[in-house]
Amino acid sequence: MEKIREFELSKEYLESLKESVEAEDIAFIRDTMDGANEADVASLLDELDMEDALFVLRVLDKEFAADILIELDEEPQFKIVQEMDSPELASLLDRMESDDAVDILHQLVVKDREEVISFLQEKEKSGHILELLRYEEGSAGALMAKEFIKANLNWTVVQTIDEIRRQAENVEKIYSIYVVDNKESLIGRVALKKIILSSSDTKIKDIYEEDLISVPTYMDEEEIAEIMRKYDLEALPVVNAKNKLVGRITVDDVLDVIRDQAEEDMQAMTGISDDVEESDSVFRLSKARLPWLMIGIFGGLMGARIIGIFDEGLRQYVELASFIPLITATGGNVGIQSSSLVVQSLAAKSVFAESIGKRFAKVLLVAVLNGIVLALLVFGTVVFVYGNKVEFGIVVGLALFSVVLLASFMGTVTPIVLDKFGINPAMASGPFITTANDLLGLAVYFLVAMMLLKL
């Protein structure tokens, strides 16, 4: 990446930064970070101990420190927020947009939160923050900022420019001016481009566009991300039940939502708890991975019990053991395919989605079709290539067919049920559910075999 003003985001600079913190060389820190981007400095501070990072933040300009604090990774940010006392934290929050301030406050217990708010200097901002804190996390209300520019439809362009000037300090990025009527209802927008190109006495009502997408405060953040992607929006106004404009969501926040969601899904699928990265300590990495591996182990141990039940049959027909991996692996693959298709369609929420009944009929048909193809393939190989008895080929083929049906059904139902209970449906592809499916598959395989072979 090339930048006009180069800031050294390198291991070497990180070392000299650590040394300068050690030596309390405040001048070095201030000089080298002058004009740097807050996100770059945050990446550096993420690599420091909490005390060192806090030292750097404290010697920098408060405006800059506030911007950096917002950009820190979850863990270092949490630690630093806990460490600061209320007046210090409040002085930084005073320099943030309301939505960022609320993100920080969410990391404190309610008691500390209120204390910090009492230290805020700007009364308007503390009002905004108290309002935003009321919305449920993950909703449009919690994601929006109270900073935006609105204009009454009877204003002229010059009046609107005055409003922009008045708010210039508070609203970092202006994309559109939102237009409201005398009742403060949102009725449209004017692009900044149009303000520039119109003469100063033009009335807003003559240049605004009615074609505008807004969302209610309770809308879920994932749905918001999909709307902003679909309609190519960089900002989205939020309205309350009376269509009064109450906030604005910007695309940078949505990019973070999408990233966090992807990471959460990945964690649900791989069963890695916590927010671990490859660069974390061995102990932390190990601890994050063990719980889910243990669920798999308990599943495996229970599987051993299930197979143990069929001990006698297995002794007579030891070839049955050879096909255990075939059965469990196919069940697993079918289950993951089914659930990922459901998860995908749950996320898309299309208006044109088919009815539940029709969807299940389709899942069943696909399963029957695939089950037949796979069962025939396995039957053929077992009998004609591996030279087993036809009877045995039928056993393995039929067991496989049953497992494909079962895994399709479980893979389809599980994410829907999880979603109903407010659990991330991606969990359906995770270790817990796949382990349960393995056990079911094993039981079905041996039951079918025992019945057909009359063991």
Please list every residue from 202 through 231 that binds a copy of itself, using CB under 8 A.
210-216, 219, 223, 227-231
Q: How far is the CB of 16 from a copy of itself (least distance, A)?
A: 14
Among residues 197, 390, 417, 451, the one that binds a copy of itself under rule CB under 8 A: 197
Among the listed residues 22, 259, 274, 390, the single contact to a copy of itself using CB under 8 A = 259
**Of 130 and 306, which has the nearer Cβ to a copy of itself?**
306
As measured in angstroms, the least distance from the Cβ of 27 to a copy of itself is 22
Give the pairing of strands 186-191 and 245-250.
Answer: unpaired
The answer to whether 390 contacts a copy of itself (rule: CB under 8 A) is no
Least distance (Å) from a copy of itself to the CB of residue 445?
10
Tokens 């990265």 sit on residue: 277
Residue 300 found at the interface with a copy of itself (CB under 8 A): yes
Compute the Cα dihedral for 265, 267, 270, 271 and give only its sign.
Answer: negative
Q: Are 450 and 314 in contact (CB under 8 A)?
A: no
Under rule CB under 8 A, how many of the chain's residues touch a copy of itself? 137
Min CB(104)–a copy of itself separation in Å: 16
Contact region for a copy of itself (CB under 8 A) — 17-25, 129-137, 199-207, 313-321? 313-321
Binding mask 164-193 for a copy of itself (x = CB under 8 A): xx--x----xxx----------xxx--xxx
The residue within the footprint of a copy of itself, chosen from 321, 390, 417, 451 (CB under 8 A), is 321
- Rounded to 5 degrees, φ, ψ at 118 are -65, -20
Rounded to 5 degrees, what are φ and ψ at 189? -150, 160
Tokens of 411: 């893979």
Nearer residue to a copy of itself within complex by CB, 90 or 148: 148
Binding part of the chain for a copy of itself, among 54-62, 114-122, 131-139, 320-328 by CB under 8 A, reads 320-328
Q: Which is nearer to a copy of itself, 130 or 212 (CB)?
A: 212
**Cα maximum dimension of the chain:** 96
Tokens 């087993």 appear where? 388
Pick one of 58, 106, 244, 315: the residue that binds a copy of itself (CB under 8 A). Answer: 315
C-alpha separations of 397 from 164, 372, 426 in Å = 72, 9, 30
Instruction: Assess 325 for contact with a copy of itself (CB under 8 A).
Output: yes
Binding mask 338-367 for a copy of itself (x = CB under 8 A): --xxx-xx--x-xxxxx----x--x--xx-
Interacting positions 20-79 with a copy of itself (CB under 8 A): 35, 37, 39, 43, 47
| The pair of three-digit structure tokens given for residue 406, joined into one six-digit string | 């079962």
Smallest CA-to-CA distance from 166 within 180, 182, 177 is with 177
Q: Where are the alpha helices (DSSP H) in 72-122?
A: 74-83, 86-93, 98-105, 110-118
Q: How far is the CA of 350 from the CAs of 296, 347, 353, in angstroms?
A: 35, 9, 5
- Minimum gap (Å) between residue 85 Cβ and a copy of itself: 28
Structure tokens at 10: 């390198």
Using CB under 8 A as the binding rule, whether residue 242 contacts a copy of itself is answered as no
For residues 409-428, which are near a copy of itself according to CB under 8 A? none
Report yes or no: 149 and 237 within 8 Å, Cβ to Cβ.
no
* Position 111 contacts a copy of itself (CB under 8 A): no
Cα–Cα distance, 94 to 327 (Å, whole number): 61
Identify which of residues 81 and 378 has a Cβ nearer to a copy of itself in the complex: 378
CB-based contact 105:116 (threshold 8 Å): yes
Q: What per-residue string of b and e applies to 271-284 under the rule 16 or more CB within 10 Å gives b?
A: bbeeebeeeeeeee
* Rounded Cα–Cα distance for residues 216 and 198 (Å): 31
CB 375 within 8 Å of CB 361: no
Binding positions for a copy of itself, 268-287, rule CB under 8 A = 269-272, 276-279, 282-283, 285-286
Q: How far is the CB of 335 from a copy of itself (least distance, A)?
A: 10
Residue whose CB is less far from a copy of itself, 57 or 442: 442
Taking the C-alpha atoms of residue 449 and residue 443, their distance in angstroms, rounded to an integer, is: 10
Least spacing, CB of residue 211 vs a copy of itself, in Å: 5
Task: Confirm if 235 and 176 have CB atoms less than 8 A apart.
Answer: yes
Out of 120, 336, 398, 418, the only residue in the binding site for a copy of itself (CB under 8 A) is 336
CB of 342 to a copy of itself, least distance (A): 7
Q: Which amino acid is at 379?
A: F
Closest contact distance (angstroms) between CB of 110 and a copy of itself is 29
